Amino acid sequence: MLERVSQAPSRVGGDVLYAWDELVQEDRVHRLIYTDPAIFAAEMTHVFGGTWVYLAHESEIPGNNDYITRHLGLRPLIVVRDAHGKIRALYNRCTHRGTTLCRWPKGNAGSFQCPYHGWSFLNTGKLRGVPWPEGYAADFRDPKYNVAQVPRVESYRGFIFGTLNLDAPPLLQWLGPITKPIDQWLDRNPGGQVVVCEANRLKFKGNWKLAYDNSGDGYHVVYSHRSLLETENRLSEEGNKGMAFYRSSPDTAPMYVQYMGNGHHFKDKRPNLNQRPGGLWAIESPHPGMEHAEAEFRRRYGERAEALLDLAGSEPVNINVFPNLSLLGNHIQVFEPVSVEETNAIWYGTRIVDANGDLGDALDEINALRMRTQEGFPNFGEVDDVANFEQIQRGLQCLEDEWVYMHRGLGIPGRVRTLDDGTITAPATDEVFMREYIKEWKRLMQTRPNLAIQREP
Amino acid sequence: MNGEPARDPSRSSYYVTDALYRALIAGFADWQRDERAVTDPAERDRFRRLVEREARLLDQRAYEEWLALFAPECIYWVPATPEAGDPRREVAVMFDDRRRLEDRVYRLRTGYAWSQAPASRTVRMIANVEVFATDRDAVRMVRANFLIHEFWGDETRFLSGWSGYRCVAADGAWLIVAKQVNLLECDQSIRNPSIIL
């Protein structure tokens, strides 16, 4: 049963909150989009709810009745694979008084009982019972007592998305051409599969869009990550480790950025690599266990060793799915807005599975090495980025200095090219992806979303 | 083996093997047992001095002296879950060998580690130090609670938890062969986790 959202209490609705064309211009945006609590509040319906949002990965709830708690914007959710195997995103909210039903981050449960007055719900969201029902004149078979849930939940190859917007296109259509790099990112792993395995979790006192602005930014690398690049290359004679390919002239290197529509974009650094087995591993900076694994694999597997080592290597792509998902290296990174000036940036690790049954003992060793490669960037790279995000938020308190620029590459003939499929490519340091995704953001902010929740009949 | 490279753990990592992971997990399982608690005051004091000195060296950012407290082939491990888990199958908040610990120090000193520019000022409180014997005479386990006051930016925050140390006797001294830092908020989003714990 669909339940349309009441328009009465909405402060945004279709009303013009701001002159959006003033705030988002061709080459710059106004500081308010990062600092204004009213805009943040509107984003929680127009963006986080009004478009498809990444919720969780299927490997986090592999069995029936497995659940994990997440957020859609600020809404607490229980993402559950119900007793029949259907994936649902339940509002973590008792229909009686509004209490959250589940306080654990993950687990396995066929039902959830509210700790406050004991109302109990099946993991389909259906009300199972209330204590002393004879005290009610109401008919508890009425669907309005069943837990609210996200009306549209769809997966793409294990990535679970949800939206409250009945007018949003189907997930596959909305993803569009970004599915191609997602496919490639998955298919380099055995069976085209990854399993989520814990996370490096950071938070910063800054707006969530500062992280999304950064997600395809090739211009900041040699400055914001200077300590990382120097550290990764301190023992290297060639000086070619990690993202060293940004150092000389990144715009003439074969890497590029590509805008894919609907706010999604793709930074492809793979063309910088030597296209051979082991070409990826060759630029890995030092990691714990690296030389041991190299020697062991080459002794045991001969030529095959290089491809096995590549499975532990950090895939040089940034696949950014608006508004909150970024696949980079081997990470599934998720941006969680907490307030207008606070964001969680969670770097979920992934491991591989022996889908083809040909890895044997190498599986655990590849995964161990893959864990160590994944810990590198959050520890030595991301910490410096989020420090800079916080300092942007601070700088934007200069009220009269209103504009933030994103015009790198704009107006240079031949630099930005629109391809036949409508995607847009540009050199790696170009800010075209910011200019394009913020148009999608503006479109969403200007459009009244057709939001609904669903309850079991 | 012919042509075997010089195995300086500051420059190469041959010792982080599957056997090491298994020994590490076993070493940090089921070690805090009352019947193994060391009661001799002199021995307890030796390890108390070790962890107190470690805290002071970190507060002073005296990283060379701090690194010298560790065995050449050592592990520094900050698990991402309270159960610690299996670092072969799960990412950790931090999991460093000797070389990566030295990377950590090197990065902080580049002058371009913006997360530590200016550097945090820290004061560490170390308490509840307990020492446990193991099956091996030359190995002790130490548990110590910590409370780190970290002044960074324009505010002071607190990081707390407990550390487990695996210590080995070497030439009359005790060295840390593995330090496991169990941060209270290990599975939560942490703001600027860029100091050495």
pLDDT at residue number A18:
86
Measured CA to CA, the distance from residue A161 to residue A166 in angstroms comes to 14
Measured CA to CA, the distance from residue B197 to residue B190 in angstroms comes to 13
Check: CB of residue A27 under 8 Å from CB of residue A405.
Answer: yes
Q: Domain for residue B148, yes or no?
A: yes
Report the pLDDT averaged over residues A262-273: 97
The domain total for chain B is 1
pLDDT at residue number A191:
98
* Model confidence band, residue A4 (pLDDT cutoffs 50, 70, 90): confident
Q: Domain for residue B166, yes or no?
A: yes
pLDDT at residue number A336:
98
pLDDT at residue number B175:
98
What is the SS3 assignment for chain A? CEEECCCCCCCCCCCCCCCHHHHECCCEEECHHHHCHHHHHHHHHHCECCECEEEEEHHHCCCCCEEEEEEECCEEEEEEECCCCCEEEEECCCCCCCCCCCCCCEEECCEEECCCCCCEEECCCCEEECCCHHHCCCCCCCHHHCCCECCEEEEECCEEEEECECCCCCHHHHHHHHHHHHHHHHHCCHHHCCEEEEEEEEEECCCHHHHHHHCCCCCCHHHHCHHHHHHHCCCCCCCCCCCHHHCCCCCCCCCEEEEEECCEEEEECHHHCCCCCCCCHHHCCCCCCHHHHHHHHHHHHCCHHHHHHHHHCCCCEEEEECCCEEEECCEEEEEEEEECCEEEEEEEEEECCCCCCCCCCHHHHHHHHHHHHHHHHHHHHHHHHHHHHHHHHHHCCCCCCCEEECCCCCCCCCCCEECCCCCEEEECCCCHHHHHHHHHHHHHHHCCCCEEEECCC
Residues of B in contact with A336 (CB under 8 A): 189
pLDDT at residue number A15:
55
Across the interface, whether the CB atoms of A198 and B80 are under 8 A apart is answered yes
CA distance A121 to chain B (A): 28
Q: Which of A14-18, A388-392, B60-64 has the lowest mean pLDDT?
A: A14-18
In CATH, what number is assigned to the domain containing residue B122?
3.10.450.50
Using the Cα atoms of residue A44, residue A47, residue A48 and residue A51 in order, give the sign of their dihedral. positive
Q: Domain for residue B34, yes or no?
A: yes
pLDDT digits (tens, 9 = 90+) for B138-189: 999 999 999 999 999 899 999 999 999 999 999 889 999 999 999 999 999 9
Check: CB of residue A61 under 8 Å from CB of residue A88.
Answer: no
Residue of B18, B93, B107, B184 for testing the chain A interface, max A β-carbons within 10 Å: B107
Q: Domain for residue B12, yes or no?
A: no
pLDDT digits (tens, 9 = 90+) for B9-42: 999 999 999 999 999 999 999 999 999 999 999 9
Q: Domain for residue B10, yes or no?
A: no
Domain range holding B132?
18-183
- Please report the domains of chain A, with CATH numbers, ordered by start residue: 52-164 (2.102.10.10), 177-444 (3.90.380.10)
Residue of A70, A71, A198 for testing the chain B interface, max B β-carbons within 10 Å: A198
Q: Domain for residue B7, yes or no?
A: no
pLDDT digits (tens, 9 = 90+) for A34-67: 999 999 999 999 999 999 999 999 999 999 999 9
Amino acid at A226: R
pLDDT digits (tens, 9 = 90+) for B49-102: 999 999 999 999 999 999 999 999 999 999 999 999 999 999 999 999 999 999
Check: CB of residue B146 under 8 Å from CB of residue B161.
Answer: yes
pLDDT digits (tens, 9 = 90+) for A341-365: 999 999 999 999 999 999 999 999 9
Closest residue in B to A289 (Cα) is B16
* Sheet of strand A159-163: strand arrangement: A53-57, A159-163, A152-156
Q: Domain for residue B122, yes or no?
A: yes
Across the interface, whether the CB atoms of A288 and B13 are under 8 A apart is answered yes
- Looking at per-residue confidence, does A122 or A2 come out higher? A122
CB atoms within 10 A of CB A136: 9
Amino acid at A416: V
Q: Domain for residue B190, yes or no?
A: no
Helices assigned H by DSSP within B28-114: 41-59, 63-67, 98-108
* Model confidence band, residue B2 (pLDDT cutoffs 50, 70, 90): very low
* Model confidence band, residue B127 (pLDDT cutoffs 50, 70, 90): very high
CB-based contact, A220 to chain B, within 8 Å: no
